[in-house]
Chain A
Amino acid sequence: MSRERLEELWARLLAGQELTPEEQRELVAGLDAQPALREILLDDAVLDGWLNGLGEAQTSGAAFAEKLRECRAAERDGPRFLKRVESRIAGRRRRGERRGNRPHLLLAALAAGVVVATGLFIAFAPPGRREDPARAQAARKDRLAAIDREREQLAQAEREAVARREEAAAEKARRAKEALEAERERIERDMREAVAKAQEGRPPAPKPPDPAPLSKPAPPPAPAPDVPKERTVTAAAKLTRLEGEAFLLTPDSRRAAKEGDDLLPAWGLETVGAASRAVIGFGDKTLVEVQPETVVRDLKAEGGKRLVVEKGALRAVVSRQPKDQPLVLATPHAEAKVLGTTLRILVDPDPKKGTRLDVEEGRVRLMRLGDQKTVEVLSGHFAVAATGVDLAATALPRTLHVGGASGKKAEDTYVYGFAGFENANFGALGVMKMAAGPQGACALLRFPNLVGSNPGQVPPKSAIHSATLKLHSLSTGPGAPMPIGVYRSLKPWNEGKGNNTPGQRGEATWLAAQKGSLPWEAPGARGRTDRSGDVAVLAAPVDGSGFVTVDVTAAVQAWAGGDANYGFVMDVGQNTGAEYSLSTSEDAAAGNRPLLTVTYTLK
C-alpha cells in the first residue's frame, strides 16, 4: 500500500473523520507493515495533540485556572465543596446536559457520579445507540472507571473533613461514596446479566434508570432482604488484569484466578509460568503488578495497605497514602514502607540474595528484619536487604537514548576514495557508505555533547554498563552478516553540508578530517593516528527489521572517562567486494537514524 494512501487515511483519522471499517483495517494493516512510517505518523499524532492542547489552553486558560482555584478551595472546604457539587447537579439536571457537552469540571464529574450516577450512565449513550449491547457494555465500563476517579476525590474530601473535624461534611462524603458503591454494584450486576443474556442469544431487557434525588445525596442503599450478611466483607482489592495462569490463595483453598476477581482481606495470589502476570488494583488506584512466578499473601487494605511478598517480583505504582498509613510490602527479609511512589521489589528465597528494592519515583523506607536496620531509598536508587550485604541505597542504572527518534541528531557522513570523489563531501545525504580497498569508502558518525553534566548527557566519570549503536542497513538484507568495523575516531572531523559536492574548507573528505587544515594520516581515516583499534566488530548480523547492533561500551566508557569524543569511524572489516550503506540522521524516518543507547550509573 502506498505511503500517500496511508497518509490520506491518517490525516482523515486525526481530523476526526469517520473511516469505513475497510479503510480502518487498511490503515492499521499498512502501518503494522511499515513500522518506520508508523513512527513518523505517531510523531504527527503527538504534534496534532500538542496543537489541540495549546489551542484549548489559549482559549480557556484563564477559565481553567479559575476552575482549579475553585476546586482547590473546595478541597480545603469540605461542606461548601459538597454543597457546590449538589448545586451543580441541580443545574445540570435543569439544563439536561449530555456528556458530549459537559463543561470539563472536576466538580461536574463528581456531581455526575455522586447523585445522578445511574441516570447519567444510561444517558451517556446517544439515543440511537442505546440498543447496541456492545456499546452499552463499553459505556458501563467507562462509567465504572469514572466511579473510581470520583470515589478517590470523595475519599480525599472525607479525609480532609475528618482532619478538620467537620463531621457533617465527612458524613456527606461517606454517604456519597456509598451511593457510588451502590451504583458500581448495580452496573456490575447489569454487566453480568448482559453477558449471560448474550450467551443465551437474547438481548438484555432495557433497564430504566434508577430515580435519583435532585438536590441531596442518595441515602445508603437499603440492604436487600435476600442478601446474606457475609456479603458485607469488603474486597481489599481487585484483580484488574491477568495474563497467563494465576491462582487465588484463600485461607482454605487455591483456585484458578480470573480477571475481575475480588481479592478479600487475607487472600493472596500466585502467578505460575514465565508468561504469567497480574495487576492488583486498590480502590485508591494503587496498582501492584505481580510478575511471573511470584507469590503474594495476606492482602490487607483497611487501616493501611499491606502485602506479603513470599517470592518473585512485583512492581507497584502507589498513590499517595495517608501519612500514618503507609503501604507496607513485607518480604521474608525486609519491610518497605511506601507513602506514594513507583517501585519494584524482587524477592529471592536465598537469604544471601534477599530482597532488592528499586525506587523509580518517590522515596521508600526499607527495614532489614534481621537487625531492624533501615535505609531510605530515594528516587532513582535501589537497596538490597540480605544477609552479609551492606544495607545502603545505590544509584540505579539510567538509560540514555541519543539519535534515532530521540530528537537529538547525530552528525554523520561518509568519505569516498573513488577517483574524482576524494575531495567531495556528503554531509547532507541520508546515506553513508562503507567499501573496502584503496578506492573504498568509510562512514563517520558522532554524537556531540554525549558527555556532560546537563540532563540528556552521560555525566563525566559515570560507569558505563552498556552502550549499543543501532544502525539501519540500506544494502544488506535481513539475516545477512554485515562486515562492519567500528573504531573510535582520533581526529576531529566535520560533517559538512555537501551533497556529493566539492568539500568546503574544514569539511570531511577522503583525504582530510578537516579539508585544508587536518589531513588524515592515511586516506579514508585508515591511519594509526586516525582511528583507534579498541572497538571493532566484524560480521554483525542484520536483524529482521534491517538493523545492525554494535556494542560500543568501551568507546563510550573512554569518552565518559575524559577522552575526546570525536565519534566513530566505520569501515568494512574485510573485503567482500561489496558496498554497504547505512541510514544517516538525515533519513526522513526518524526510526532509521543512528541510535546510541547508553546505560550507566553515576560514580
Chain B
Amino acid sequence: MAQADEWVRQAGEGSAESFSRLVLAYQSRVRAYLWAYLRDRDVVEDLAQETFLQACRGLSGYRGESTVGVWLIGIARNLAALYLREKSSRGAREGEFASSALARWLTGRVESDAARLEESERRISALEACIERLPEQSARLVRAFYFERERGADLGRRAGKTEGALWMTLLRIRQALRRCIEGRLGTQSQGAEA
C-alpha cells in the first residue's frame, strides 16, 4: 500500500495528520491481532496504543522491507509475547484453571507466530470480507454480539434460544468464517499462481 508508506514517511517528518491516518487505517487489524492472544480488553487497549507509539518512535527505522501492516503486527506480536511470557511466569490464579490453560496454549501460538505475520494480517483482512458473506441471520448475530456488545442472555431471549445454544451457534458461525477465510486465501493463492 504505497499510500501507507507515504503516511509513514510524513509521520516520520512530524505530520500528526499522517500519523492519525495510519492509526485509523491499521488500528482494527492491530487490535484484532492482540485480542486473539490477550483476551483482555484493558491489556489489548494498552498494548495497541503502545504498538502505535513504538511505531511512531521508530518511524525512521521503517525500511519498507515488509508492508506497513505486517510491520505494525510485528511490533504488536513482540509486545504480546513479552506480556504473555511475563504473565505465564506468574502462574495460574486459583479457580482460573481453564483460562490459564488457554493463555498457555495461546502463548505457544504467539511465540511461533513470528514467521507468520503476513499470513495473520491477510487472514484478519479476509475475516472482514467473510463477515459480509455470512447468511443474514448469522451476520446479524455476529454484529450484535461482537460489534454492538449485546449481552448473550438478551440475544438468546430474542432468538428463542438458551444461552448455551447461543454459544454453540456462535461457535458454528466462527467455524464457517474460518472455512470462508481459508477458501478466500486459497482462491487468492490460486489466482497468484495463474
* Residue among A49, A69, A400, A455 with max Cβ neighbours from chain B (10 Å): A49
Q: Is the CB of B174 within 8 A of A44?
A: yes
Is A454's beta carbon under 8 Å from chain B? Answer: yes
Is A603's beta carbon under 8 Å from chain B? Answer: no
- Which of A9-17, A301-309, A512-520, A537-545 makes up part of the contact surface? A9-17
Q: Is the CB of B123 within 8 A of A56?
A: no
- Which of A24-32, A82-90, A205-213, A229-237 makes up part of the contact surface? A24-32
Q: Is the CB of A406 within 8 A of B116?
A: yes
Q: Is the CB of B97 within 8 A of A49?
A: no
Q: Is the CB of A407 within 8 A of B119?
A: yes
In the complex, residue of chain B having the shortest beta-carbon distance to the beta carbon of A54: B32
Q: Is the CB of B32 within 8 A of A15?
A: no
Pick the contact of B23 from A44, A65, A145, A379 — CB < 8 Å? A65
Instruction: Tell whether A43 pairs with B19 under 8 Å between CB atoms, given A8-B164, A53-B32.
Output: no
Q: Is the CB of B86 within 8 A of A240?
A: yes
B residues near A49, Cβ cutoff 8 Å: 32, 35-39
Interface residue count on the B side (C-beta < 8 Å): 84
Q: Is the CB of B36 within 8 A of A28?
A: no
Instruction: Tell whether A55 pairs with B52 under 8 Å between CB atoms, given A104-B42, A455-B118.
Output: no
- Which of A70-78, A420-428, A473-481 makes up part of the contact surface? A70-78
Is B185's beta carbon under 8 Å from chain A? Answer: yes
Instruction: Tell whether A7 pairs with B86 under 8 Å between CB atoms, given A149-B46, A409-B186.
Output: no
Instruction: Tell whether A72 pairs with B56 under 8 Å between CB atoms, given A47-B178, A64-B27.
Output: yes
Is A48's beta carbon under 8 Å from chain B? Answer: yes
Is A59's beta carbon under 8 Å from chain B? Answer: yes
Q: Is the CB of B45 within 8 A of A104?
A: yes
Report the Cα distance A305→B34, complex, angstroms: 30
B residues near A17, Cβ cutoff 8 Å: 163, 167
Q: Is the CB of A25 within 8 A of B177?
A: no
In the complex, residue of chain B having the shortest beta-carbon distance to the beta carbon of A103: B45
Main DSSP-derived SS at the A contact region: helix
Report the Cα distance A379→B61, complex, angstroms: 12
Q: Is the CB of A13 within 8 A of B99?
A: yes
Q: Is the CB of B20 within 8 A of A47?
A: no
Main DSSP-derived SS at the B contact region: helix
Smallest beta-carbon distance A84→chain B, Å: 15
In the complex, residue of chain A having the shortest beta-carbon distance to the beta carbon of B24: A65
Q: Is the CB of B53 within 8 A of A51?
A: no
Smallest beta-carbon distance A595→chain B, Å: 13
Smallest beta-carbon distance A236→chain B, Å: 19
Instruction: Tell whether A69 pairs with B16 under 8 Å between CB atoms, given A13-B102, A46-B36, A61-B27.
Output: yes
Pick the contact of A53 from B44, B86, B175 — CB < 8 Å? B44
Is A449's beta carbon under 8 Å from chain B? Answer: yes
Is A287's beta carbon under 8 Å from chain B? Answer: yes
Rank and list the top 9 A-B pairs by shortest CB-CB distance, nearest first.
A53-B32, A49-B36, A104-B45, A53-B35, A57-B28, A11-B167, A55-B146, A24-B98, A49-B35
* B interface residues (Cβ-Cβ under 8 A, vs A): 16, 19-20, 23-24, 27-28, 31-39, 41-42, 44-46, 48-50, 52-54, 56-58, 65-66, 74, 78, 82, 85-87, 89-90, 93-95, 97-99, 101-102, 105-106, 109, 114-116, 118-119, 123-124, 127-128, 131, 142, 146-149, 152, 163-164, 167-168, 170-171, 174-175, 177-178, 182, 185-186, 189-190, 192-193
* A interface residues (Cβ-Cβ under 8 A, vs B): 7-15, 17, 19, 21, 23-25, 27-28, 31, 38, 42-59, 61-62, 64-69, 71-73, 75, 99, 102, 104-106, 109, 132, 134-135, 138, 141, 145, 149, 240-241, 279, 285, 287, 317, 320, 342, 360-361, 379, 398-401, 406-409, 448-449, 454-456
